[in-house]
Amino acid sequence: MMTLLAIETSCDETAAAVLRGYGEILSHTVFSQAEIHSKFGGVVPEVASRNHLQSAPWVIDEALKTAGVEVGELDTVAATNGPGLASALLVGSAVAKGIAIGAGKPFMAINHLEGHMLSPFFGRQDIPPHISLVVSGGHTLLFDVHGFGDYRLLGRTLDDAAGEAFDKVAKLLGLGYPGGVRIDRLARDGNANRFDFPRGMIDSGDYNFSFSGLKTAVRVFLEKHGTAEADLPDLCASFQAAILDVLLAKLFRALKESGHQSAAISGGVSANAALRSRAADRASKEGVVLHTAPPGLHTDNALMIAYAAAHHAAAGITSPFDEDIYPNFDPKRLQAS
């Protein structure tokens, strides 16, 4: 069985993991820089890269020590090479290449979004046909997946990503960064029907999304009415319901139109309690199997990169040592070559 080391540094998590086969977790280390960036109100790219540079050595060392694996015992070294912050991606890719070259092992460049997309199937060797909704801080994507390496993009956000909308609205509400999880918590005690916020593009007839109108609607509402502490739970619940209504409407329409029996939701926003319970309820009503990642694999981590790398290894795909990084999203880069 393959033993893989994976390194993830696309945004503000410095992460390393050692995986054996498709599901034996030997180690899984995530150092979140969120606290460092929170005083700036969001991720500052250069601060992120400098922190990756300082943290990657101990994060990787800890992952290898916890796994009880020597570099010489690894079959391959993988790193995220995009999409993400250019200077942050460079650190993880350079470190992974250095380890691979030093140890005489193959290097594997992995797409961050493929890592998220496959994470709901963690542990499995097969990727069933399904509709995949990826909702992260940087992306909102809907795919028709026919199997590993066969991903057809159905739609994407035309402006803000779902996680970005959570973070921006959290900032407007004075909840700080990162805001998604704080809105999630407050919304649990709120009335989602109290305020009526727009469901952008819900009837657009395509699979694209738009969340910037919703963010503006919240801002205009707050300018008019202010943020009374007592209204926070209802505001969070009402805003969250507007996002979830659109995500779920498009996901389930794609399931109906494709005829697929399985759905997967991944990315940081898939940690959201209301999204998970609403998606699960609707899936059971419509006779669809819903897959979500195990806890710890929703937000950025290196285990999902290692798991995607295991599929690449099985397909005989490695990357050259002069492989570049790709900061921008390009659906063509997701296809297995």
Q: Which of 318, 333, 257, 308 is nearest to 148 (CA)?
A: 308
Cβ–Cβ under 8 Å, residues 194 and 234: yes
Structure tokens at 167: 């973070």
| Span interacting with Zn ion, options 128-136, 169-177, 227-235, 269-277, rule CB under 5 A | 128-136
Shortest Å distance, C-beta 78 to Zn ion: 15
Cα within 13 Å of Cα(116), Cβ side: 28
Q: Could you tell me which stretch among 158-166, 188-196, 286-294, 323-331 binds ligand KG4 (CB under 6 A)?
A: 158-166
Minimum Å distance from CB 298 to Zn ion? 9
Among 67, 181, 186, 293, binds ligand KG4 (CB under 6 A): 181
Report the nearest approach of ligand KG4 to the CB of residue 7 (Å).
15
* Distance (Å, whole) CA 175 – CA 170: 5
DSSP letter, residue 119: G
Q: Which partner, ligand KG4, Zn ion, none, binds residue 292 by CB below 5 to 8 Å per kind?
A: none
> Is the Cβ of residue 108 or residue 236 nearer to ligand KG4 in the bound state?
236
Residues 6+ apart with CB under 8 A from 30: 13, 14, 15, 296, 300, 301, 302
Tell me how far apart the alpha carbons of residues 12 and 310 are, in angstroms, rounded to a whole number. 24
**Minimal CB distance residue for ligand KG4:** 268
Question: By C-beta, is 134 or 201 nearer to ligand KG4?
Answer: 134
The identity of residue 65, as a single letter, is K
**299 sits near ligand KG4 (criterion: CB under 6 A):** yes
CB of 136 to Zn ion, least distance (A): 4
Task: State the nearest-atom distance from the C-beta of 137 to ligand KG4, in Å.
Answer: 3
Give the x/- contact pattern for ligand KG4 in 247-286, rule: CB under 6 A: --------------------xxx-xx--------------
Contact 34, 53 (CB under 8 A): no
Question: Bridge partners of 141?
Answer: 134, 156
